[in-house]
Amino acid sequence: MDSAQRGRGPFVWRFLLWHRLAHGLAILTFYTLVLTGLPLRYACAPFSAELIALFGGVPRAGLIHRIAGGVMVAYTLVYVGWLMGRIVRDRVNWKRWLWGPDSLVPHPKDAVDFARMWRYFVGRGKKPRFGRYSYLEKLDFFGEVWGFVIIGGSGVLLWFPELFGQYLPGWWFNVATVLHGYEALLATCFIFIVHFFNVHVRPDKWPLDAVMFHGRGTVDYLEEEHPDMMHHVEENLDEPVARSPRVDHPAPAPTRIATVLSAVLGFVALAVGFVIIGMILWAVTFC
């Protein structure tokens, strides 16, 4: 059921607690924002009045939306602060951090991989060998960065119209409304269609990849998804399972509770996501 637990072990840590917490918070805030924002964007849709009533009416849904947005801004700022701290205080090798093979930053290889994927799709080449982060994961990450800037910026503008209206002409709010709504729609469709397919329901992985929930995957799984990082893993495979989790180091198999919780969280999130895509299609047809 969980493709991260398929094949042969041993288990290896891929994501640490803070990765998983950040992703969990992202799920929580993103879903809240979508569910409270969607009925406003498609106010004309048949489900919108019911959905907004579920949140206790427009003013209450608006408050929940702003709280979720605030939490998203908060954890993003914490992340950026942590990043700055790493660069400035810990003096990480930022050249390697930017250009190393384990980087999350887009590289020329990603463009090559992207091109090779299309050749692979049409049967004219092998699937490219992805490193720690494939272009799909980088796209997920930087898509969120881009979305955060556009949606967050316009959202703050629309949150305090009277404050910003002291200096900015009012039509900025017209522009902000368009940016906010369309970028949110793009983010929703991208996550619930492209991300969900790439990560979870791809026929060779489906129905779920819970590596981001319990943090570890089998060697077979990592080899399949990220063959170009396996040398990091090979080096540590003979070490005993460490007490504190370290990336690329052997991990204990997820406990039954962790497996079940991951599956429940994953399937609920998947189901809600697909329902939301259905609602968008319904709204687009209806409005």
Partner 1 sequence: MTLRVAFLAMVVAALSSAELPGQTSGVALADDDACLACHGEPELLRARVAGAEEAARLHVRAAPLRGSTHGEMRCVECHDDYQGFPHPDAAEPMGCGTSTCHDADPHPEWSESVHALVQDSTGLAAATCTDCHGLHDVESVEALRLEASAAMVELNGRCASCHSEQDHPDDPHAGTTLCSGCHAPHTMEVPGSPESAVAPVRQLETCGACHEEVADSVRHDVHRRALVDAPRERLLAWPAPATDSLAPTCSDCHGAPPMAGPNVALSGEALSGGPRPGLARDEGIDPGAAFRMFMVERCATCHVDDADTYYGTYHGKATRLASGVSASCSDCHSAHAVLPADSARSTLHADNLVGTCGACHEAARPAFVRYDSHPDPMDPERNAALYWSFIFMNTILAGTLLVFGLHTALWWIRIWLDGRSPGPPAERGAPSSGRPDPASPSDSGGAGG
Nearer residue to partner 1 within complex by CB, 22 or 49: 49
For residue 269, which amino acid is it? A
CB of 84 to partner 1, least distance (A): 29
CB atoms near residue 170 (< 10 Å):
9
CB of 6 to partner 1, least distance (A): 4
- The SS3 assignment for 254 reads coil
Q: How many angstroms separate the Cα of 238 from the Cα of each of 11, 41, 59, 250? A: 12, 54, 58, 8
CB of 120 to partner 1, least distance (A): 6
CB of 2 to partner 1, least distance (A): 11
Burial of residue 155 (CB within 10 Å: 0-12, 13-18, 19+) is buried
For residue 121, which amino acid is it? F
CB of 167 to partner 1, least distance (A): 7
Binding site for partner 1 (CB under 8 A): 3, 6-8, 39-41, 43-44, 46-50, 52-53, 57-59, 117-118, 120-123, 125-127, 129, 158, 161-163, 165-171, 173-175, 177-179, 182-183, 185-186, 189-190, 193-194, 197-198, 202-205, 219-221, 223-224, 227-228, 230-231, 234
CA neighbor of 136 nearest in space, from 183, 95, 185, 191: 191
* 98, 123 contact by CB (below 8 A): no
Nearer residue to partner 1 within complex by CB, 58 or 272: 58
Nearer residue to partner 1 within complex by CB, 24 or 143: 143
Nearer residue to partner 1 within complex by CB, 25 or 168: 168
